[in-house]
A and B are shown apart, each in its own frame.
Chain A
Amino acid sequence: MFQIIRKQELAKGTIIKMDVNAPKIAKKIKAGQFIILRVNETGERIPLTVADKDEFAGIITIIFQIVGKTTALLNSLKAGDLIKDVVGPLGKAAEIENIGTVVMVGGGTGVAILYHMAKAFKDAGNRVIGIIGARDKELLILEDEMNAICDELVVTTDDGSHGQRGFVTQPLEKYLDERHDIKLVYAIGPIPMMKFVTKLTKKYDMPTMVSLNPIMIDGTGMCGGCRVKVNNEIKFCCVDGPDFDGHLVDFDELELRNATYIKEEKDSLLASIR
């Protein structure tokens, strides 16, 4: 059992941040890796990326958006409550080296992972440019945290309620046009966002990494549920990823695969409300 130490709503009723006591995982987890948790005995196993960790306090920070039954269930817990299972670290850690200037692009809850990763890039001595976006001001998370570690930070919202109006691709394009010292783009967020970012960077021949979030069950390479096509080869996101070369990922297929259980997800959520 894993105790929730703190809980905070980053966006009201939609994006939640939790600090969970998991000392063994906190000691080992690196940027880019994720955990799988199961709230209770009848619960699903869901993969969540870790936004931060405190090795000394033995705490990992998870950030999640309430989308289905399990995340709603998780949200029903408060500080002091227990989560049945937390397993990790899973996936490969991101390769983080001092390469110069890196642009970190994040959208929605993807910013949570992006933050962990940006911090690691910064610690490795890179110059970090952050571009984070969300649908509106309410849904924008971790702006202050990102601001603290990024050398430059651009914020966009779809409706213009905060920062620049528009999508993250617009400031990214500007950077790619104006600056020539950028060595890598890291994009983490909803699938359409990553798809458009990679489309854009392809034009500039800019190496781009993405962090994928397909459907998973065990998260240990056992089921193949999370298979994605990368460079026309089947890869398992949980053991081969979650980070891949964005230019090689078949996003269309991933998008379709991720929509497999939309109906069941709804049924389950409705059943839990009744």
Chain B
Amino acid sequence: MLDYDVKYLKFKTYLNTYCPHCKNTFNVEKKDHKLISFNAVYKGQETELKLSPYLDIFEVQTSIPIAKDDKLDDVFCPKCKKSLVVDNMECGECGSKTAEIIITADSKLIPFFICLKYGCQWHGLTKADERRIKLKIPRQEMPEQDQKIRATNFQEVPFGLTSELTQLEAGRCLQCKNAKCIEGCPVNIDIPGFIKLIRDDKFDEAAKKIKEKNVLPAICGRVCPQESQCEKYCILGIKDKPVAIGHLERFIADYERKMDLVKIPFIKKKLNKKVAVVGSGPGGLTVASDLIQRGYGVTVYEALHETGGVLTYGIPEFRLPKSIVQFEINYLKEMGVRFELNHIIGSLYTVDELLENFDAVFVAVGAGLPWFMGLDGESLINIFSSNEYLTRMNLMRAYKFPEYDTPMPKANKLVVIGGGNVAMDCARTALRTGTREVTIVYRRSRQELPARHEEVRHAEEEGIKFKLLTNPIKYIGTDSNKVKAIECIQMKLGEPDSSGRRRPIPIEDSNFIIECDLVIVAIGTGPNPTIFQSANGIKRNKRGYIEVNEKTMETSKEFVYAGGDIVTGSATVIEAMGAGRIAANAIHKKLSKKKK
């Protein structure tokens, strides 16, 4: 009957009400109270009827006493005196007659009905619309460690949702039939599906639903940039905040792990085919998981002494606990994936040698070669690449020095160059190791910061300073060759460049000095040449990344596939996993045809 959309009537929405005939407003606003005022007739007597203007607050005042459950004879507009009672609408609860008024909602005028029975709390819309009304529960955010306390420890910042909050948040999902969030997810998790299971209190089944598509949910729930993936497409996000899909995913994965519900799937058919995976980061792990479940023999080669790639050496403990990474990798081990540590492909084995022993090779070595800016003084002592700093801290546990042998770089005033997630990780790690002052220097403005919003917020809360629209041009050293200051230049934003972001332009003669005793350069990374030392026949693009067929992830060399940062350049964990998924499907398709 009514085709307007009223999903956005919030709990406690302030209603602006009008007479349907003369359009006079019923709202009365006084200094300390607001109300809606009509005239009504009760047992032949005229009275003033005052209602609360807030949706779902049922406060009624009248100038004469009215017995509960008695009906008003009439309700009319105080201005035009026309009756508001209508015949075509009955109260949704008691079936009494109703009075029609007009409210503004969603910047439209729509009819709204009030039951004439005194004490009946129904006032609202047609039944059909009522079903569509969502009382608005705000997005449930995770409780977090206090910002002062967390800046001194390496424990995780958010505690995660409780099961009650999870239920509440899951209730916000509209369960769209044509769910856009699924398209926004690089591995296409059935998001409404698992949220439905949460609502039905079936947390274990929700976990299984996620694992159909994503083997690392506890990791993705923590480090995915949901705001630019699944949550970006959530319909609720148009007018309000999207469903906290990441928080829900994280809760379910943690629930499954903590409740010991993880079951190792039994792999029925074993194929007589083997696949080698180079690199144990997110892309490699996805391929390993997908293929082992299809019956392939999978061996993962890792250059470092711990598995996990960037999840282990890059992302700090307080953002992604290493125990969770290892738990998820153990799941793969128990499914039968072999992990070979300390194996550098390119020098210990070449890709060609791998092809002699394996039916296919998936290369997911990441983009691990740090970039420097080539500035004067960049080789001064105490200027680190973000990779070195984070590798020391995360992989080598330097923050536990001297319990662990790798020394920790220490500073009083530390500057991080760059504005991505890695820059935030470095800055926050530095803060946690007792650095007095941490400043992030970024050449564009706040809006262009490439880091996840949550990381920027966390960093700010913890007291990290942001020096925006600033670019370093030179490092100044002490007599003993240690960095003591950075000469910077002020920038302004010009026209958008090829990346769509506004290009930063230096402002002439705006040079200034930032004093510091340690600098971390976090401006990105490029492809590592090691794998190519002997890998003939793998075509690379101008920037040095591997060229692949995007539909299959196959490289120019047959049976060699690649995915993740070594194809795209620095990107996200889940994008690497998405590439892994495509490659795994393509490898399976191709090897199914290949006769042994």
Contacts and interface: CB of A to CB of B under 8 A. Distances in A.
A185 B381 CA distance: 30
B260 interface: no
B407 A268 contact: yes
Contact of B381 (A222, A260, A264): A260
A130 to B, nearest CB: 28
B159 interface: no
A224 B388 contact: yes
Interface string B9-41: 000000000000000000000000000000000
A85 B305 contact: yes
Contacts of A87: 303-305, 342-344
A222 B528 contact: yes
A45 B342 CA distance: 12
Interface size class of B (residues with CB under 8 A): 35 or more
B481 A256 contact: yes
B385 A220 contact: no
B370 A224 contact: yes
A237 B384 CA distance: 15
**Interface centre among A69, A84, A220, A257, by most B CB within 10 Å?**
A220
B392 interface: yes
B374 interface: yes
A220 B388 contact: no
B348 interface: yes
Contact of A217 (B368, B406, B528, B529): B406
Interface stretch (B175-183, B395-403, B487-495): B395-403
Contacts of A260: 381-382
Given A43-B405, A239-B528, A221 B348 contact: no
Nearest to A35: B342
Contact of B347 (A90, A224, A253): A90
A42 B387 contact: no
A253 B481 contact: yes
B297 to A, nearest CB: 19
B392 A256 contact: no
A124 to B, nearest CB: 20
A267 B388 contact: no
B264 interface: no
A25 B530 contact: no
Interface string A214-256: 0001101111110111000010100100000000001001001
B327 interface: no
A70 B405 contact: yes
Nearest to A224: B385
B317 to A, nearest CB: 16
Contact of B530 (A220, A224, A225, A259): A220
A272 B404 CA distance: 10
B341 interface: yes
B347 A88 contact: yes
A28 B347 contact: yes
Contacts of B342: 85-87
Nearest to A265: B407
A224 B396 contact: no
A73 B406 CA distance: 13
Contacts of A221: 368-369, 528-530
B391 interface: yes
A220 B369 CA distance: 9
B379 interface: yes
A234 B480 contact: no
A234 B368 contact: no
A44 B407 CA distance: 9
A38 interface: yes
Nearest to A258: B381
Interface in A31-57: 33, 38, 42-45
A24 interface: yes
A90 B345 CA distance: 11
Interface of B: 303-305, 313, 341-344, 347-348, 368-370, 372, 374, 378-379, 381-382, 384-385, 387-388, 391-392, 395-397, 401-408, 480-481, 528-530, 533
8 contacts: A25-B348, A42-B404, A90-B344, A217-B396, A223-B391, A223-B392, A227-B372, A236-B369
Interface of A: 24-25, 28, 33, 38, 42-45, 69-70, 73, 84-90, 92, 217-218, 220-225, 227-229, 234, 236, 239, 250, 253, 256-257, 259-261, 264-265, 267-268, 271-272
Given A218-B395, A220-B303, A225-B384, 5 more contacts: A221-B528, A224-B372, A250-B379, A253-B379, A260-B382
